[in-house]
Amino acid sequence: MSEHSEGKREHWGSGIGFILAAAGSAIGLGNIWKFPYITGENGGGAFVLLYLVCICVIGIPVMMCELSLGRHTQRNPIGAFRAITPKTSLLAHLIGLCIVLTGFGLLCFQNYGLGALLLLLGVAIFRYSWTVVGFAGVLTGFVILSYYSVVAGWVIGYFFKALRGGLDFKNTTEAVAEFTRSTGDVSWCIGFHVFFMFACAMVVWGGVKSGIERWSKILMPLLFLLLYVIILRSMTLPGAMKGVSFLLSPDFSKISSRGVLLALGHAFFTLSLGMGAMTTYGSYVSKKENLFISSLTIVGLDTLAALLAGLAIFPAVFAFNQAPDGGPGLIFHVLPVVMNQIPLGGFWVALFFVLMFIAALTSGISLLEVVVAALMDEMKMSRHLAVLLSGTVIALLGCLCAVSLDSWDRLPALHQLLQQTFGVGQSSFFDFMDNISSNWLLPLGGLMTSLFVGWIWGTRGAVNEIRHGADNFADVHLMSLLSGLREDPHHNNPQYHVLTLAAIWGIFIRFVSPVAITIAFLHLIGWMKI
Ligand code: PFF
């Protein structure tokens, strides 16, 4: 009866179904809303190049870590880490000790809230070792979905506005005023946020094959079709080529340390890495699938979608002499103004919001599925009860984000609590949730996953998992020491005395990704200046 009992776990119906579902998770508001505006703010082509480097250096290796961890253990992130964690892990103890000491330090400096929290975390690491990483991933699912669904709610609201002809602004001032008015309207925000959560819950309710996979197979091709149609319209506007060259020709003088960090953080967010979403989806994959090719395809589709979104937006923005650095409101402020200047403008705007809704929905369901899978596996809940429970809690949390979009005015008690604990400088609960997940939880989750797979599970164990269904992801000798493949039975075969993919991957997850993430992270918290 239960999907959660081992061996009976529900699996994807087909390889393509899995790839579309995983690409659906990756392709979301991050690609269509966030990527264009952070590219616009950070100089265009140069930022795109940085982003592509981060995707290759960190995104692909960590994607393979998460998928192989999921498939090997056939469990949700908590169960996956627990299944592989050894009885004693020196590395976990070391990390736990550092955290406990930092907690003590903070207590001494009278930062009681964060100090106590870190002490608790340190103790949890001593007690549960790496399983804490899986738990943190599930928690991150809660946090991200609670504010993600609020933005998705705006998208739905704007779609209806566009249908009613309510977005025919003459200039961006009018558009900004309308955006501020709408997002300040609590019942409007909450109504559409709950609607979005309901849509996610309906899909996840159907299960892996007949819910997530079925809808991904319908929605993902539709998403790409819509993207191409909008690009065609955008690129045929007079003056559109200025936008294309903004996106594609890098100006290296525009590269800044902030841009590097943003690109790195965004690589995690856009690929749904660092919180166990891909571990969860990987746990529904059969041994026949080639995880190496799947990872490349998922990352490739996600990158393609981001670039296509850029090609849909910037030509239109430049054709009508609008500024590309409009920030988070770029889509909501600039696009309606731009599109209004062409025939059938309202139709194009509505189509764009449909596109964004689809992208948000397939990502939202993956965020919810992480929580649902954890409740099913760990608490032995039925899928329907897990969906009901997690959907309701996240919807309520989202309501708090919706009532505190740009100020804490409506949540003074929560503000005080968070300020005492974290000393938060964020301007609202919405900002707090965004900041804590994108800047802290995801990069730290990615770092821990990469360390765990590279050093605890071991590259050898992970490569053995990836070998199922991927014979060409091969075995090496040349750098076997560095990459952790020294004891691999294939390493003496002279035919393999070259630097193969398996070895490169091992080096990346053991050294390159952890070092890059750590540097970026230290810079972020102000302990190191790049
Ligand atoms: N990748 C999604 C986006 O780009 O919008 C966001 C996301 C989905 C992040 C699922 C994390 C996740 F687990």
Report whether 119 contacts 100 (CB < 8 A). Answer: yes
Report whether 194 contacts 402 (CB < 8 A). Answer: no
Q: What angle do CA 220, 223, 224 make, to 5 degrees?
A: 95
Give the ligand 1 atom nearest the CA of 277. 13
Q: What angle do CA 235, 33, 224 make, to 5 degrees?
A: 55
Q: How high is the pLDDT of residue 153? A: 97
pLDDT digit string, tens, across residues 163-174: 998 888 888 889
Q: Which residues contact 192 (CB under 8 A, 6 or more apart)?
A: 152, 153, 154, 156, 157
* Residue with CA at minimum distance from ligand 1 atom 12: 272
Using the structure block, give the residue that is written with the tokens 């995983």. Answer: 22
How many Å apart are CA 56 and CA 512, to the nearest integer?
Answer: 11
Residue 402 in contact with ligand 1 by CB distance below 6 A: no
Give the ligand 1 atom nearest the CA of 276. 13
Report whether 367 contacts 390 (CB < 8 A). Answer: no
Q: How high is the pLDDT of residue 41? A: 85
Q: Residue 500: is it exposed, middle or buried by C-beta count within 10 angstroms (0-12/13-18/19+)?
A: buried
Ligand 1 centre to CA of 137 (Å) is 12
Residue 275 in contact with ligand 1 by CB distance below 6 A: yes
Report whether 375 contacts 392 (CB < 8 A). Answer: no
Q: Residue 482: is it exposed, middle or buried by C-beta count within 10 angstroms (0-12/13-18/19+)?
A: middle
Report whether 41 contacts 317 (CB < 8 A). Answer: no
pLDDT digit string, tens, across residues 473-506: 655 455 555 666 656 666 556 554 556 778 888 9
Ligand 1 centre to CA of 83 (Å) is 25
Q: How high is the pLDDT of residue 5? A: 41
Ligand 1 centre to CA of 144 (Å) is 8
Q: Which residues contact 225 (CB under 8 A, 6 or more apart)?
A: none
Residue 303 in contact with ligand 1 by CB distance below 6 A: no
Residue 311 in contact with ligand 1 by CB distance below 6 A: no
Using the structure block, give the residue that is written with the tokens 């290759």. Answer: 56
Joined together, the tokens standing for residue 151 give 């933005």
Residue 272 in contact with ligand 1 by CB distance below 6 A: yes
- Helix 383-403 vs helix 186-205: crossing angle, to nearest 10: 160
- Domain positions in the chain are 18-85+130-524
Tally of residues, the chain:
530
Q: How high is the pLDDT of residue 244? A: 93
| pTM exceeds 0.85, yes or no | yes
Ligand 1 centre to CA of 145 (Å) is 9
Residue 331 C-beta-side C-alpha neighbours within 13 Å: 31
Q: How high is the pLDDT of residue 342? A: 81
Ligand 1 centre to CA of 30 (Å) is 7
Ligand 1 centre to CA of 301 (Å) is 14
How many Å apart are CA 474 and CA 467, to the nearest integer?
Answer: 8
Integer CA distances (angstroms), 214 to 14, 302, 441, in order: 11, 19, 30
Mutate to test the pocket of ligand 1, among 35, 39, 63, 148 (most ligand atoms within 8 A of CB): 148
Q: How high is the pLDDT of residue 483? A: 64
Ligand 1 centre to CA of 49 (Å) is 21
Integer CA distances (angstroms), 156 to 60, 199, 338, in order: 32, 11, 20
DSSP states of 389-413: HHHHHHHHHHHHHHHTSS-STT-HH
- Phi/psi region, residue 399 (left: phi>0; alpha: psi -120 to 50; beta: rest), is alpha
Mutate to test the pocket of ligand 1, among 220, 223, 270, 439 (most ligand atoms within 8 A of CB): 270
Count the Cβ atoms, other than its own, within 10 Å of residue 65.
Answer: 30
Exposure string over 109-137, b if 16+ CB within 10 A, otherwise e = eebebbbebbbebbebbbebbbbbbbbbb
Residue 363 in contact with ligand 1 by CB distance below 6 A: yes
Residue 366 in contact with ligand 1 by CB distance below 6 A: yes
Ligand 1 centre to CA of 415 (Å) is 26
How many Å apart are CA 475 and CA 488, to the nearest integer?
Answer: 8
Residue 40 in contact with ligand 1 by CB distance below 6 A: no
Count the Cβ atoms, other than its own, within 10 Å of residue 2.
Answer: 12
DSSP state of 111: -
Low pLDDT (below 50) residues in the chain: 1-6, 476, 496
Using the structure block, give the residue that is written with the tokens 């699912």. Answer: 141
Residue 436 in contact with ligand 1 by CB distance below 6 A: no
- At position 460, the amino acid (one-letter code) is R
Written out in words, the top-level CATH class of the domain with range 18-85+130-524 is: mainly alpha
Report whether 125 contacts 160 (CB < 8 A). Answer: no
* Residue with CA at minimum distance from ligand 1 atom 10: 272
Exposure string over 186-223, b if 16+ CB within 10 A, otherwise e = eebbbebbbebbebbbebbbbbbbebbbbbbbebbeeb
Count the Cβ atoms, other than its own, within 10 Å of residue 13.
Answer: 15
